[in-house]
A and B are shown apart, each in its own frame.
Chain A
Amino acid sequence: MFLKYKKKIQTILLYKDSPLLSIEDKVNIILSPEYYWVKKVSLPIKYVREVKPLLPSLFEGSIPDGQYSYSAYKDGDDFYIFAYEDKSILDVIHAKGLKTAQVQNIYFAQSEFSALEQPVSIDASQSMCLEEGIVVLLPSLWIEEGSDLNISTLTLSKHKNSLKQFGHLVDNKSLYGIIGIFLFFILAATSELYMTMQKIETQVLQREKLFQDKTLKSTMMQNRAILTELKKVHENQTSFRRAIGSVLSLKLQGNEKLSLITLKNKKLLIEFVNIKRVREIQILGILKKKGLVFTSSLKSEVLKVEVKL
């Protein structure tokens, strides 16, 4: 069995004149009333989630213009509704020497001190007290009797709030629009991805079918090698037919005869008999004109022509 040690997190009250803090650990922050606007309202609705959409209109015209976030909680039959500026609060937190990451939870003084029985002084000049259920800050001079604030004994409520770090840059409505646009692009990219994968699968299947239908060898390397070999055969056969055609179309004179034709090892050997030197030149000239590459010899009126195919 494992026991988890839970370290108690320090709670601080943040107000305009609160001292600079030098804390490294996480802290819970209670915001004094000067950092939010609060209203206690009675509405003919039951749940907080139904109130939330109404919050901006409930504050409209009663607070200065600004980039507000809203929250609410229910207490009995009444709702406490809040408007606050995230950026202003974050600026104060940073100005007091705290980092955003150190902040565990944010609370409003309203929710944490709603059960004050008598005013409490938060420093020499200011005190907090309840006025018709609303926690307010007053100069201590106005308070006749009160006690010092002992925040360490305070039990925090469940009414936590969140701060939007970049909320002042873009409002929620715009963010929903941006999210919608991104979702559209994600959907488009996903469907394109799906179609591309389908196309790949189809092409692969078509290629496999081609291998089967055309009875190709299993690898392309084998098929390329066979094709190269067949192309060589084709070139060789074309050369042979061109050479033999050229030789057979020669017009021999008198008793000149073609005595031998052999084809072996891609060499075509032709022998003519009764060929004089003058005729040798003429015959070889004709063969050259026809583009044949050959070697020749004339001995005892026998002209041998060897054509390399």
Chain B
Amino acid sequence: MNRLNLLHVVLALVGLLILLNVFLSQKKENLEEVKIAYNETLVISKQLNSLNDVYSNKKRVQQSITRLLQQRSLRKAKIKQKITKSGIIFTSKSLSLSEVNSLMSKIINGTYNVYAVKIKKISKDKVSFMMELRW
């Protein structure tokens, strides 16, 4: 009577199958969670990369501004640059209207983080200018 019979084997296999299925469903849930986490990381990394490149790339901003100020329309403008830890500040006591128009249109149409601006008319065709870009 104590001997193992086939029915006991069947019952043991049923138990094993149930356990395996419970374990499998837990692992499948884990897989879904891991997939969701991966996709979320992928989306966030893409967004972070593109936004970082636009607003936090110090090297790109510096190179771009250097090129911008060397353009013919701005080459003669007396614009001072001050680079700080967090960004770059341009100042000019006197800019012509064409110079300020050229500079502003390029800054606004470019991808920069414009943090502060002050443009004040000082005479009929001159303005004082200050702009801070951040990275």
Contact = CB atoms under 8 A, between A and B. Distances in A.
A196 B28 contact: yes
A199 interface: yes
A179 B9 CA distance: 8
A245 interface: yes
Given A175-B10, A214-B48, A261-B118, A193 B24 contact: yes
10 A-B pairs with least C-beta separation: A263-B117, A230-B51, A182-B13, A214-B45, A175-B6, A162-B3, A189-B20, A203-B34, A261-B119, A259-B121
B1 A163 contact: yes
A237 B113 contact: yes
Contacts of A214: 45, 48-49
12 contacts: A166-B7, A170-B7, A179-B10, A193-B20, A204-B34, A214-B48, A227-B44, A230-B48, A233-B51, A244-B108, A245-B108, A263-B118
Nearest to A223: B44
B13 A186 contact: yes
B108 A241 contact: yes
Interface in B1-34: 1-3, 5-7, 9-10, 13-14, 16-17, 20-21, 23-24, 27-28, 30-31, 34
Interface string B27-55: 11011001101101110110111011011
Interface string A105-137: 110000000000000000000000000000000
Interface string A231-245: 101100100110011
Interface of A: 100, 103-106, 162-167, 170, 172, 175-176, 178-179, 182-183, 185-186, 189-190, 192-193, 196-197, 199-200, 203-204, 206-207, 210-211, 214, 216, 220, 223-224, 226-227, 230-231, 233-234, 237, 240-241, 244-245, 248, 257-264
B120 interface: yes
A264 B116 contact: yes
A91 B79 CA distance: 109
Given A162-B2, A210-B38, A223-B45, 16 more contacts: A162-B3, A164-B6, A192-B24, A193-B24, A210-B42, A211-B41, A226-B48, A234-B51, A237-B55, A237-B112, A241-B108, A248-B104, A259-B120, A260-B121, A264-B116, A264-B118
A185 B14 CA distance: 10
A224 B108 contact: no
A49 B14 CA distance: 29
Contact of B45 (A189, A210, A259): A210
A182 B14 contact: yes
A185 B20 CA distance: 10
A71 B44 CA distance: 71
B17 A189 contact: yes
Interface in B81-135: 104, 108, 112-121
Given A186-B20, A211-B41, A234-B51, A196 B5 contact: no
Contact of B6 (A176, A186, A244): A176
A231 to B, nearest CB: 7
Which of A178, A259, A263 lies at the interface centre, i.e. has the most chain B CB atoms within 10 A of its CB? A263
B118 A207 contact: no
Nearest to B130: A262
A182 to B, nearest CB: 4
A258 B121 contact: yes
A220 B10 contact: no
A227 B51 contact: yes
A70 B110 CA distance: 93
A173 to B, nearest CB: 10
A196 B31 contact: yes
Contacts of B13: 179, 182-183, 186
Given A203-B35, A204-B34, A234-B54, A223 B118 contact: no
